[in-house]
Structure 1
Amino acid sequence: MSRSKGVKKAICIMSGGMDSTLCATLAIKQGYEVVGLHFDYDQRTMSREKRAFNEVCDFLNIKNRISLNVNFIAQIGANALTDFSLNVPKDGLKDEVPITYVPFRNGIFISIAAALAEKEGANALFIGVVEDDSSGYPDCKSDFIKAIENAVNLGTKDTTKIAIKMPLVGLSKAQIVKNSIENGSPLQLTWSCYESEEKACGLCDSCRLRLKGFKEAGAVDLIEYKN
């Protein structure tokens, strides 16, 4: 599909979480026409994440939204988000890569998003990776994103030029909360919990990082927690 004259289009990988929601908000503020891309991979909170994705898209008036089933990720397994025989850790963040790491998930997501970007004539791809104040997933590192950006542009048509944008990569969770509030990103619609779909558990890595961010930002998180 050819790119319309004067129109900047961006693919935004959107999980329904606070980071990717802020990325989509920033992309819109930067003048991009956003295509929201969401992935279902039989993760524990799949239906709740999809609800958050759709509610965020409604709020941000993102009409072009695509939700893809990539449940082969669950067939590969080796992570607590898709393997229900493994427990989601609730004993705090540690130095090693946690069992909630889904092997090469961002590499898979970016590859699919790049194909969609080429089809849509998009010149940017936004992803909400956070390198420092995070769970320590290797596919969230800026060096990895830069390397895969190079690979994407080598593996697509000469007329396709895709910039992978990671505006949050060097931010703390507190900075992400503050930026979300300042830019009108709908934090109240986002979902971060790895385990629960009704009330957030408040104890998994993702909930801990989210709550830490709100506390350090001096802000109130409006979603409900069990703990």
Structure 2
Amino acid sequence: MSKKAVVLYSGGLDSTTCMAIARAEGFDPYPMSFAYGQRHSVELEKAAQYAPRVGAVEHQVVEVDLRRIGGSALTSDLEVPKGRAIDETIPVTYVPARNTIFLSFALGWAEVLGAFDIYIGVNALDYSGYPDCRPEYIAAFETMANLATKAAVEGIGRYRIHTPLIDLSKAEIIRRGRELGVDYALTHSCYDPTADGLACGACDSCRLRLKGFAEAGEKDPVAYASGSKPE
């Protein structure tokens, strides 16, 4: 019998691969996406397109306006960095407490669904320095989830936060997705797309994605803006 799993799903490369993995591991995926005031909201269109193709049982889109607090280039008028040296310093594209907010919503839905498994596509190897993508953060949230929910306290089940991509390079993530039949043409990763939804090719997310496809020996199937110079 299949089990239910809530999957945090942005419509990007990592979360789409993560959902395919959840399905391959025997779960019925219940993807949850967020309209949080992000400048790259085209990702939600991709999420809506792709969710049915990987067997989503029910796709929730939660509205939470993080532009009200700002503090990030993704949720304010701050400029998205382009062409910077990618390292483990925390960039201005970090959204304050984003994964904590998203996981909290996912935990609430999981408890309502009677599910005890949550998938999130965080990555600690090929990432842009976000503190809420680290293994110790995920372990801490899982501990909290099992202290803060009725289902866990009453012994009905124990919550587990699955992070199948956390130790993989971007190239390894792409190869795993290909094995599972993921169509990356229906994903979106750019932080600062054009008005037509084309990827910029120069933000951290685009550059990490392009690097991953190059190392996997593939060409990225998404369209990039004219004049951008994918590496």
Instruction: Please state how far the C-alpha of 1:128 moved relative to its aligned partner.
Output: 0.1
Matched to 1:140, the amino acid is C
Q: 2:193 aligns with which of 173, 192, 196?
A: 196
| Alignment partner, residue 90 of structure 1 | 82
Instruction: Please state how far the C-alpha of 1:183 moved relative to its aligned partner.
Output: 1.3
Aligned ranges for residues 85-124 of structure 1 at < 5 Å? Answer: 86-92=78-84, 93-124=86-117
- Percent of aligned positions that are identical: 42
| Alignment partner, residue 209 of structure 2 | 210
Aligned ranges for residues 61-100 of structure 1 at < 5 Å? Answer: 61-71=55-65, 73-84=66-77, 86-92=78-84, 93-100=86-93
Structure 1 gap segments, 5+ residues each? 1-5
Q: TM-score, normalised by structure 1?
A: 0.93
1:29-61 per-position Cα deviation (integer Å, ceiling 9, x unaligned):
111111010001111011x11111111112113
Aligned ranges for residues 146-165 of structure 1 at < 5 Å? Answer: 146-157=139-150, 158=154, 159-165=156-162
Contact 1:13–1:126, Cα closer than 8 Å, also in 2:
yes
| Alignment partner, residue 3 of structure 1 | none
Within 2, Cα distance between the matches of 1:166 and 1:7?
A: 19
Q: Does 1:177 align with 2:174?
A: yes
Matched to 1:199, the amino acid is L
Closer, same or farther: CA 136–95 of 1 in aligned 2, 3 Å: closer
1:46-77 per-position Cα deviation (integer Å, ceiling 9, x unaligned):
1x111111111121131311000011x22111
Contact 1:118–1:160, Cα closer than 8 Å, also in 2:
no
4+ runs deviating over 3 angstroms: none
Instruction: Please state how far the C-alpha of 1:195 moved relative to its aligned partner.
Output: 0.6
Matched to 2:81, the amino acid is P
Instruction: Please state how far the C-alpha of 1:187 moved relative to its aligned partner.
Output: 1.1
Contact 1:10–1:123, Cα closer than 8 Å, also in 2:
yes
Within 2, Cα distance between the matches of 1:28 and 1:186?
A: 15
Matched to 1:224, the amino acid is A
| Alignment partner, residue 138 of structure 1 | 131
Residue 11 of structure 1: SS of its match in structure 2? strand
Contact 2:123–2:133, Cα closer than 8 Å, also in 1:
yes
Matched to 2:213, the amino acid is F
Within 1, Cα distance between the matches of 2:170 and 2:87?
A: 17
Q: TM-score, normalised by structure 2?
A: 0.92
Structure 2 gap segments, 5+ residues each? none
Within 2, Cα distance between the matches of 1:101 and 1:199?
A: 22
| Alignment partner, residue 25 of structure 2 | 30
